[in-house]
Amino acid sequence: MKSVRGAVFLFVLSSGAGLAQSDYPVKPVAFTAVHVTDGFWAPRIEINRTVTIPFAFRKDEETGRVDNFIRAAEALRGERLENGKAPGYPFDDTDVYKVIEGASYTLSVHPDPQLDAYLDELIKKIAAAQEPDGYLYTARTIDPLHPHPWSGPRRWMLEEVDSHELYDQGHLYEAAVAHYLATGKRSLLDIAIRSANLLVETFGPGKQTIWPGHQITEMGLAKLYRVTGDRRYLDLAKFLLDVRGPDTYTGGDTHRQPSYNQAQEKVVDQTEAVGHAVRATYMYSGMADVAALTGDTRYVNAIDRIWDNVAGKKLYITGGIGASAAGEAFGANYQLPNMTAYNETCAAVGNDFWNHRLFLLHADAKYIDVMERTLYNGLISGVSLDGTTFFYPNPLESKGQHHRDPWFGVACCPGNITRFMASVPGDVYAQRNDAIWVNLFVGSTAEIKLDNGRTVQVTQETRYPWEGAVKMTVTPDQAAALTIHVRIPGWARNEPIASDLYRYADKPPQTATLKVDGVSVPMTLDKGYVDVTRTWKKGDTIELNLPMPVRRVVAATEVEADRGRVAIERGPIVYAAEWVDNPGKKVRNLVLPDSVPLTAEYRADLLHGVEVVKGRAVAYSEDDQGTSKQVSMKQQEFTAIPYYAWANRGSGEMTVWLPNSEAGVTPAPFPTLTNSATVTTSGSKSPLPMQDSEDPRASNDSRFYFDWWPQGTASGGPERVTSGWVEYRWKLPITISESDLYWFDDTGRGGVRVPAGWKILYRDGDGWKPVQNSGAWGTERDKFNHVHFPAVTTTALRLEVKFQATFSAGVQRWRVK
Ligand SMILES: [Zn+2]
């Protein structure tokens, strides 16, 4: 098995090198060449292989995503007359492709005959769903007369809007190349080639002109070109980039806004990161690929400018990107809100892809600094430590409304995690002829095959990211002149990112040092690397020492959300204060004065082993109700955990940016009837916002609300729900005579409206009785709707809400007195 795989790689590498005119000036060292043995990544990669990938395949089956291929095949054979429901989304096929890609990566380093056989069967199902001319898109093939509404009545006609036909093909190509390289089997590759040939026949100069609504086809075609040498695929990738924009649409449809899918200008003219963040980073990655393969520097100039914009104005401290939930998009410059930060897990994956490619173009460590920041923080936060629940958005602050889910209706993120985690070791090294770049510090043994045919084994011993000592042993196949570029991370050079967006609030007590064979090397930096050029011989050592004090970070004053606040970092890890570890189960009421010393401590028993940060904070609480609120303060123990590990112990408060003075603090509220109730609802979202003491700004305030969406709307499933309920329960009987309702309503943005009607019931014995409200049950927007009723003594209240037809409903606050 092993020798077969080796032969496949050799074939691809040798023939690929001859076929491609040019490629990246620096070459990645494939993850297959890097055997990770450390305590941080090795267990994660193993959980991904043994838990997440089988789990995601099971979800693909349970949710009908695999059935879609079977149904499409039946339709093609004419066996299916009643075709029933179209797939949930026209991009559901990609959730299968992504997990195949992830599974293939694991197969190439970990033989597993059972998984191999499972993939063979799955690929047969995919093959059977492909139309004779190569078209592969179950959302249409299942029932061409009644395709998914986003697909449009004819092929490609809605591609630039919402059909995702080309997006599906792009993920197919990525999966096919991975499967071919891992197994040497052409089964999926041949499917991809048939599909790509159809695209080549359909699109191009003198044929149809179209740009992918959701980018990735460009990257996928570049990969397909590399393994097949068929230049037409590269030409098509370039064509798909060059025909994008400028879109002149001026209507109101959110998904048609030119900037939503980066069609506001020609790609080579773009200067700012805008629109849907996943599409954007996939496009920038595709531009890097096409630039590398064609030598066209216009793409490079554009993505360099865009990178300056992101690194300087649109990057969260966690490496997350895409601040806005509306359109899953980049926000305006410096618009980096914490609680509503969208930061889709897929956007973090895309950010990593893009920065890695920029590094391969420029050999500059500033891209690896962003990649590492994303990788260790805002990307792996997307999957739980046990590998079975996921975050779609990755916010930097929570009141407890956020929680991980085992799957999503739009399930892009879990699949992306499976393929990403399996390939992380490919980010550790890069090489060119007689040079090696050491980019990440991961306990591992790598067999690095240089372009010049030589092989160098590099072993890293380190407890990174918890300790900054890294010992590397270099073993060339024979003594040879070679430059090893050792990255000195930005965080160890007092520069969180190569921009003025963030800076450390203090000076580092010590600086990084490097020894080669026990002799200190001058720390002369070139593009973030110390370059060690010498004749390396077997057993030579490099000892890197990166001191890891706990640091405070401040953001540029333009970032309103972070003013008067600090974030905590240690090494590459960004910290978060989470409710579980702090007294009173609250953290948003804490102030962390700059004078408080912070120390680090390794806790093997906690969160699969983490370094925690400890100190003392000041806790603020309201100790009185009413117009003149009194606030009390007390000193208490403070503990922060790595951000990536939050929300693994239930839902509650979390914050990354802590106020360093009382100006930014949110005192813990005084206990009221409202916030002391246990709340449950008929919806699936957290009901906690309803009990919050902070007034909403308006009914459409999207910072902190509850709604029943998608219940009541067309996307809420076949059994349309027309009403919802909320219950407040108390341990002891309470007496109540007033209630205030502030409705959530996102007219113009979503499907939630003030209700058609509502009522309040109270618990009486075993039943519910309505309260005797003699006034109106108000449904006005942007205000509290007050009701007054004869006092009732009870242990529970129930709010019943009737939805408007075809709409859902939601509640900003429900207060009772
Ligand atoms: Zn996603």
pLDDT digits (tens, 9 = 90+) for 323-336: 998 889 999 999 99
Q: Which residues pair with 462 in a beta bridge?
A: 470
Which of these is catalytic: 218, 328, 569, 622? 328
pLDDT of residue 1: 34
pLDDT of residue 625: 62
pLDDT of residue 217: 98
Q: Are 173 and 223 in contact (CB under 8 A)?
A: yes
Percentage, residues of the chain above pLDDT 90: 83
- What's the gap in Å between 478 CA and the centre of ligand 1? 46
The tens digit of pLDDT for each residue in 114-159 reads 999 999 999 999 999 999 999 999 999 999 998 998 999 999 999 9
Mean pLDDT calculated for residue range 347-361: 98
Q: Are 816 and 728 in contact (CB under 8 A)?
A: yes
In whole angstroms, give the CA distance from residue 46 to residue 105: 12
Average pLDDT, the chain: 93
pLDDT of residue 626: 55
pLDDT of residue 509: 77
- What's the gap in Å between 390 CA and the centre of ligand 1? 10
In whole angstroms, give the CA distance from residue 266 to residue 264: 7
Mean pLDDT calculated for residue range 209-226: 97
Mean pLDDT calculated for residue range 70-74: 95
- What's the gap in Å between 266 CA and the centre of ligand 1? 26
Which of these is catalytic: 101, 131, 346, 412? 412
Mean pLDDT calculated for residue range 798-809: 94
Please classify residue 7 by burial: count the beta carbons closer than 10 Å to its beta carbon, then call 0-12 exposed, 13-18 middle and 19+ buried.
exposed
**Which helix (H) or strand (E) element contains residue 397?**
strand 397-399
Per-residue CA distances from 209 to 116, 159, 201, 206, 283 (Å): 39, 11, 12, 8, 17
pLDDT of residue 718: 60
- What's the gap in Å between 564 CA and the centre of ligand 1? 32
Determine how many CB atoms are found less than 10 A away from the CB of residue 453.
8
Who surrounds ion ligand 1 at CB < 5 A?
344, 346, 412-413
Return phi, psi of residue 234, to 5°: -65, -45
Q: Which residues pair with 621 in a beta bridge?
A: 632, 668
Point out the least confidently predicted range of 7-11, 318-322, 577-581.
7-11
Q: Are 556 and 502 in contact (CB under 8 A)?
A: yes
- What's the gap in Å between 275 CA and the centre of ligand 1? 15
pLDDT of residue 88: 82
143: left (phi over 0), alpha (psi -120 to 50) or beta: beta
Mean pLDDT calculated for residue range 255-259: 86
Return the DSSP state at 580: G
Active site residue 346: no
Mean pLDDT calculated for residue range 97-120: 97
In whole angstroms, give the CA distance from residue 731 to residue 734: 9
**Which helix (H) or strand (E) element contains residue 385?**
none
Mean pLDDT calculated for residue range 355-377: 98
Active site residue 328: yes
| pLDDT of 554 above 90 | yes
In whole angstroms, give the CA distance from residue 661 to residue 594: 9
* Confidence bin at 622 (pLDDT 50/70/90): confident
Strands 757-764 and 678-681: unpaired
Distance, CA of 544 to chain centre: 31
Which residues contact residue 193 at a Cβ distance below 8 angstroms, ignoring those fewer than 6 apart?
A: 224, 228, 230
- What's the gap in Å between 345 CA and the centre of ligand 1? 5
pTM of the model: 0.90
Radius of gyration of the chain (CA): 28
Mean pLDDT calculated for residue range 353-367: 98
- What's the gap in Å between 753 CA and the centre of ligand 1? 27
Nearest to 483 by CA among 439, 533, 438: 533
